[in-house]
Structure 1
Amino acid sequence: MGCCDAPGLMPLEEALEKMLAGIKPIQSTLQLPLAEAIGFVLAEDILSPINVPPFDNSAMDGYAVRINELAQNQPLPVAGKSFAGQPFEGEWSPMTCVRIMTGAQVPQGCDAVIMQEQATITEDGVVFCQTQVKPNCNIRPVGDDIHQGDIVLTKGARLTARDIPMIATLGVSHLTVFRKPKIAFFSTGDELKPLGTQLKAGEIYDSNRYGIKPLIINFGCEPIDLGIIPDCPKTLKETFEKAQSLADVVVTSGGVSVGEADFTKDILDEVGQIGFWKLAIKPGKPFAFGSLGDAWFCGLPGNPVSAVLTMYVLVQPMIAKLAGHTQWKAPESIPAITRTAFKKVPGRTDYQRGIYSIENGQFVVETTGNQSSGAFRSMSLANCFVVLERERGSIEVGETVSIQLFNSTLY
């Protein structure tokens, strides 16, 4: 054991490896209308049934022409019009042009579109300022975006607001997706009170569920809020049994420390199995992982920053694998220069809250101030985590550190 190792604490990397090793992705699928599929994970590849665009079309408002006729430098009468959804029909006579709008199908024989700003209408026809044009100028050819048979999205992709309209262009109305994982969650502690009540001595408002629920939704899961559970072994056991019957994952906050009123560990020993209990991470050391019947269990610390951090760093990748989201990636680590000092004691990987900016092309970062695990204001101010290695000590101004920009789940 090295001087920087924390006795009895599992390294973060080992904990993640153990968590992910036992997770098997959900196999249940649903057929959903496209409009309802956002946030779900695809259970099969999407192959384009058509070319996009399905026909050669104009990229500009202007005039469809035949290039060889421009060389004669004569006015070209307008033979007709081609609008979106109303293509030019009939015979296109030689030495004429066709008025065309953006997105409209180009007439047969057209090999260029000249924008209307390069044209002047006269009594004899349209005179073009631009007479030397390249073939297919301002024409979007059939299949320019997507070819029929192309794989446009692969199994395991989580559908975003950018994907839905793209799929709609293919005419695909229904998708096969994996069902979303169900996550039951609750807070534990006699000191916790719901919002809107008058606090008495020693009581605090339950904020953790308000941080956990949006994360569950942003992770692409279905939340099941079981409320606040008092420090009563009987009630806790009943809640655990109810939660595991409803969900794929049970998430608690509080009750996983070593206090006299922390009963979660004892109950889990009775009704479930504990994989590990304490991690070499700060904040978030008292994080528990195990199984509870057919469900997985994640016990978050009670301090609000610790609860959100462990949800983000530990629970998020686990749920991504459970959901079949094979394209999920952990936030990238980026080197940054410190503009303030960061206090740290060797022994645990430390996720401090920071504010990054870019100066002359270089990432720089400063602390949000109070790094207490109970001070959530610093989390609200932050836009990144400053990830300080286990063996590292305090950081001075001007040193290089690794930062992780918050991903979309924290916005």
Structure 2
Amino acid sequence: MAQLGKDSFSAGEKPMRVDDAVALLLARIPCVEGLESVSLFAAEGRVLAEALVAPIDLPRFDNSAVDGYAVRFGDLTPGAETILPVGSRVAAGHAPEPALESAAAVRIFTGASMPEGLDTIFMQEDCRLLEDGSVALPPGLTLGANRRLRGEDISAGDPALPKGRRLTPEDIGLAAALGVAHLPVRRRLRAAIFSTGDEVLSPGEPLRPAAIYDANRFLLHALLGRLGVEVDDLGVLADDPDIISRALHEAAATHDLVLTSGGVSVGEEDHVKKAIGAEDSLAFWRLAIKPGRPVAMGVIGGTPFVGLPGNPVAVFVTFVHVVRPLIAALLGAAFEPARRLAVTSSFKYKKKKGRREYVRVSLRDDATGDTIAEKYPVEGAAVLTSLTRTHGFVELAEDVERVAPGDKVAFVDYALLR
């Protein structure tokens, strides 16, 4: 587990800006100890614990990018068709014959090693085979055409993948091409999650009056799973400060991260923030963000803890903007904020200055090919269909106060937040 001291953070009463909160997490959260070696088949989504240096050149030798005929460029007739005898044949995986002593072409196939002394390749569809077995080569080809040079992708000894990279299928393909069968990765994080509230029931339980089904734990479980985190579900806890405090401290003793939802506001029945003991600490408990202002982040028994809001849309928003960078820090991963795409607003909107807001929108293309963002008609932080029926968020920065139809706005796709 990542062990943090009580004084790793200090909480202020003023709502913290999102970027300041992320910078604080990335600066203060230590990486968990422990790594393991996994096969490439098990490496997707894991965080690389040590940089990968290319052990070989890629490609290992000059080779052909096409099926065709390899020649020595100096044997071609400038500005005119060249006719050459076909001296030999080389296929992929077979060593070429010794260099030709006289001007001749070599029949070559994609991926085959270039014969020594030859430097240019004609595509077979551009050539004519003659009755005597020679080949007619058209004019105009440049020196080195259709030849892949040794090491042009990456040279032996060069950096191939950086430490801290969350491995993608493309990364795994590169490692395989370099002959690497196993990669050192950070061990998986183990997180505990629970929801709070006397009104909250788990799906499948009889629905009593004034009760609701818990969406938050299941949303969090899925979001954590997408990031490769092992999750222990502690269920729903009653609105009892002693029960919540005991659960928080027991979970913190055996997990790398503890996440809760609900109970972090300032109401009389909001007990999560109060359950953090005198030996623990808070980094912040209010963010300048909408939806999702009440977010408690701190340290319990040396373990990071995040108390997320009670409404599911606010849980989603605060997870992707607080918990994602926190998990990156715990894994020693390079945190990459989601890229923004400039789109055109179809709606007008007014917001409070100094707070970052995330407006749920769908995208469409207009007749001119411009991408238009349309706001979901219901804005509430409890409206789950506002996530399932839209494509992403329009992010409105702290200094923005109004949006009008036709304004360019920053769009963040949900798919980039997972």
Normalising by the smaller structure, the TM-score range is: 0.7 to 0.9
2:358 corresponds, among 341, 351, 356, to 351
Amino acid at match of 2:325: P
**Alignment map for 1:54-93 (pairs within 5 Å):** 54-71=60-77, 75-89=83-97, 92=100
Deviation at 1:311, TM superposition (A): 0.5
Residue number in structure 2 paired with 1:242: 250
Distance 1:274-1:62 versus aligned 2 partners, 3 A rule: same
Deviation at 1:157, TM superposition (A): 1.8
Give the Cα–Cα distance (whole angstroms) in 2 for the partners of residues 259 and 20 of structure 1: 30
* Alpha-carbon offset, residue 198 of structure 1: 3.6
Distance 1:178 1:91, change over 3 A: same
Give the residue type in structure 2 aligned to 1:293: G
Q: Which amino acid aligns with 1:111?
A: D
2:43 aligned partner, one-letter code: A
Structure 1: gaps (5+ residues)? 1-6
1:370 to partner: Cα distance:
0.8
Contact 1:342 1:367 in 2 (8 A): no
Shift, 1:341, TM fit = 1.9
Contact 1:244 1:292 survives alignment (8 Å): yes
Per the TM alignment, residue 216 of structure 1 is displaced from its structure 2 partner at its CA by 1.7
Label 1:48 to 1:17 Cα distance change in 2 as closer, same or farther (>3 A).
closer
1:187 aligns with one of 184, 195, 199: 195
- Size of the aligned set, in residue pairs, is 403
Cross-structure match for 1:42: 48
User: Secondary structure at 2:224's aligned position in 1?
Assistant: helix
> Where in structure 2 are the equivalents of 1:17-32 lying within 5 Å?
17-32=23-38
* Shift of residue 171, structure 1, vs aligned partner: 0.8
Q: What is the alpha-carbon distance in structure 2 between the residues aligned to residue 262 and residue 307 of structure 1?
A: 16
**Structure 2: gaps of 5 or more residues:** 1-12
1:52 aligns with 2:93: no
1:369 CA displacement: 1.6
Q: Distance in 2 between matches of 1:145 and 1:249?
A: 40
TM-score w.r.t. length of structure 1: 0.87
1:330 counterpart = 2:337? yes
Query: Alpha carbons of 1:103 and 1:337: their partners in 2 closer, same or farther (altered >3 Å)?
Result: same
Alpha-carbon distance in structure 1 between the residues aligned to 2:27 and 2:152: 43
Deviation at 1:28, TM superposition (A): 2.6
Question: Which letter maps to 1:340?
Answer: F
Task: Return the alpha-carbon distance in structure 2 between the equivalents of residues 385 and 82 of structure 1.
Answer: 55
TM-score by length of 2: 0.86
Q: 1:66-89: per-residue Cα shift (whole Å, max 9, x none)?
A: 334443967544333211112333
- Kindly state the Cα deviation for residue 318 of structure 1 after the two structures are TM-superposed: 2.0
How large is the RMSD of aligned CA atoms in angstroms? Answer: 2.8
Give the Cα separation in 1 of the matches to 2:99 and 2:20: 73
> Is contact 1:341–1:367 with CA below 8 Å preserved after alignment?
no
Q: Could you tell me how far apart the structure 2 residues matched to 1:166 and 1:392 are?
A: 43
C-alpha distance in 2 between matches for 1:390 and 1:123: 76
Matched, 1:258 2:266: yes
In the alignment, the residues of structure 2 paired with residue 18 and residue 388 of structure 1 have an alpha-carbon distance, to the nearest angstrom, of 22
AA aligned to 1:375 is V
Rounded to whole Å, the distance in 1 between the matches of 2:166 and 2:249 is 31
Please report how far the alpha carbon of residue 37 of structure 1 lies from its aligned counterpart in structure 2 after TM superposition. Answer: 1.9
Q: Which amino acid aligns with 1:311?
A: F
Q: Distance in 2 between matches of 1:386 and 1:322?
A: 28
AA paired with 1:247? H
Deviations 1:219-265, CA, capped at 9 Å, x for gaps = 34333332333334444334223321222111101122234433222
Residue equivalent to 2:4? none
